[in-house]
Amino acid sequence: MTNSAPTYFEAQQWASFCLKTARVPSDNARFLLLGLTHFDQTQLLVHYRDTMPTALSTTYQAMVKRVAAGEPAQYVLGRAPFYGLELTVNSNVLIPRVETEELVDWVLSDAPATSACNVLDVGTGSGAIALALKHERPDWQIEGSDVADGALTVARQNARTLGLAVDFYQSDLLASVPATRFDVIVSNPPYIDHAEEPVMDASVLNYEPHGALFAANHGLALYERLAATVAPHLAAGGKLYLEFGYHQAAALRAIFEKAIPRATVTVRQDMAGHDRMLRVVNHE
């Protein structure tokens, strides 16, 4: 970028070039600029030919350089979108993914909008699932749990910022969950096999928390623990919703059908046509 103060358009063009040269998706240039300025798309267009304030330009350049070096743009900005919400994120939590929004959609579409619902989000991380559900269904009683203190700090901060009444507490899966029977338990647990590390994106491996990514036994270990312990925490007719890796459907179906023989297990595809979600209905 030239020494003279750039316009917003020039700054974004420079950032796009830097990121493309670094083989990083160039749409991060706009994501960072919108997040830093708090403009929406229309406001950015209106200001495209305006000169950026010097301090803002300096901050933007520094952010772009961090992303070009491999750091996820969401961590650099400190925020990430999820289901219409803007969440604080840092290296204590995974960056919420679009695929997980589809899991939220499934939970919401299964339950009538007028129904009372008692929900637990296991392994809540940033609180993304729990907070999205509470935002869409304010009358639902929603709790979130996580084993990691750092993640719970982020989740509680997000709940306060968004003004959403969700209770968060520490638990290793269901080990310290209250004796409540839930209508819905939902979880996006760690499910990646360590054998997949050589083909994973470097920014994920280098920056996102490994404890929230990987699980033993080919990524199935936490599902096996859930299958062995979840039934007493589900109300009659209660439902467990899970996200999983695209190649794990057959193994997970077998795990839950064996552990809860009277349950109905349904696999659902994501928008890309991959098996990515599982629902277990408790017919106790």
Binding positions for substrate:
188-191
- 157, 84 Cβ separation under 8 angstroms: no
Enter the pTM of the model.
0.94
pLDDT at 2 (0 to 100): 53
Binding positions:
123-127, 146, 188-191
Secondary structure (DSSP) of 241-259: EEE--TT-HHHHHHHHHHH
For the segment 74-101, the average pLDDT, to the nearest whole number, is 97
What is the pLDDT of the chain when averaged over all its residues? 95
**Domain 90-281, CATH class in plain words:** alpha beta
Every domain of the chain with CATH number 3.40.50.150 lies at 90-281
Binding positions for S-adenosyl-L-methionine:
123-127, 146, 188
How would residue 283 be classed by pLDDT, with cut points 50, 70 and 90? confident
Every domain of the chain with CATH number 1.10.8 lies at 8-77
Please provide residue 208's backbone torsions phi and psi, each rounded to the nearest 5 degrees: -85, 150
pLDDT, tens only, 90-119: 999 999 999 999 999 999 999 877 678 999
98 CB-near residues (< 8 Å, 6+ apart): none
**What CATH number belongs to 8-77?**
1.10.8
